[in-house]
Structure 1
Amino acid sequence: MTDFSTFVAPPPSDEPNADAVEAASDCLDRFTAAFNASDTRAMDAELHFPHLMLSGAQRLEWAEPGQHPHDFFDKLKASGWSRTQYEKKDAVLVSNDKVHFVVTYTRRNDAGVVLSTHCNLWIATRVDGHWGIALRSY
């Protein structure tokens, strides 16, 4: 079991870890490229499981890959969606193995018109050398 005192107080770092931010940011980019390709398997490859999502006070946990609803992209496309685009990805808390991002992205139609704008907290972690998104808060 993890010692609570070390869990809440990881060793201090003298400066932000730019390599961790870059690697974690690349993971988010790969996830969104897969999202734009409607490729749920490639999306799952960029997630850590169990994967946690928070929306308001609701919590959704996926224990394993393959949990996206089969009609997810059909419904999204029916709304006019064509692609998702990052507007900002701000690393707000950084350690060697975890980066918290405040992510602002837009959903756009074929003409590039913004359909909606979202600002979320996404946390990417490095587990066994692999960066993946561990938590998304909507």
Structure 2
Amino acid sequence: MSNSAIQAALNTMQAHVEALNARDPQAIAKTLHFPHYRLSGTEVKVWETPDSYMDDFHRRAGDDWGHTEWGHLRPVQVSADKVHLDVEVKRFNTAGDPLVSFISLWAITQVDGIWAAKLRSSFAKDLS
């Protein structure tokens, strides 16, 4: 396994959750490659640009979403320019109580020297 690729992927995920919790669309966009793909169940969602990502996140997370934490980030497969991560996503409401927890598979890739998430797959349900 490439330790530098793993560290880059983990750094990307840390930056992503910090940007998400800060509700900073520009910082979130820096952690995602576009187009960006999400497979939930059998449906694929594609974001061609960063513009609609945050609005769509709020629809998926629900009106009472307060913040997100990673339960775990585990490398599954690693190459010099791609890391698959087994991720536990934990969402909490504005009072700090758990909303939902689910497992997701994220693909973090290096494109033109930039590490960011290209896609992920999960069994998460929309809370809205």
TM-score (norm 2): 0.85
The one-letter code of the counterpart of 1:137 is: S
Total equivalences in the alignment: 122
Match of 1:121 in 2: 105
**After the TM superposition, which of the residue ranges 104-113 and 49-58 deviates more from structure 2?**
104-113
Percent identity, aligned pairs only, is: 37
**Is the CA contact 1:38–1:73 (under 8 Å) kept in the aligned structure 2?**
no
Query: Could you report, residue by residue, the CA deviation over 1:93-136 in whole angstroms, capped at 9, with x for unpaired residues?
Result: 00000000010021123443222101101100001110010001
How far, CA to CA, are the matches of 1:34 and 1:58 in structure 2? 26
TM-score (norm 1): 0.79
Greater relative contact order (CA < 8 Å, ≥ 6 in sequence) = 2
* Within-5 A mapping of 1:58-69: 58-68=43-53
Aligned CA RMSD, in angstroms, stands at 1.9
Q: CA deviation at 1:56?
A: 1.1
The one-letter code of the counterpart of 2:118 is: A
| Greater strand share, structure number | 2
How far, CA to CA, are the matches of 2:56 and 2:38 in structure 1? 19
Is 2:93 aligned against 1:109? yes
Match of 1:86 in 2: 70
Aligned with 1:120: secondary structure? strand
Which one has the largest radius of gyration? Answer: 1
Decide whether aligned partners of structure 1 residues 125 and 71 sit closer, same or farther in structure 2, where only a CA change above 3 A counts. Answer: closer
Decide whether aligned partners of structure 1 residues 75 and 19 sit closer, same or farther in structure 2, where only a CA change above 3 A counts. Answer: closer
Decide whether aligned partners of structure 1 residues 69 and 36 sit closer, same or farther in structure 2, where only a CA change above 3 A counts. Answer: closer
How far, CA to CA, are the matches of 1:130 and 1:66 in structure 2? 19
The gaps in structure 1 that reach 5 residues or longer are 1-15
**Is the CA contact 2:37–2:46 (under 8 Å) kept in the aligned structure 1?**
yes
The one-letter code of the counterpart of 2:63 is: A
The gaps in structure 2 that reach 5 residues or longer are 123-128
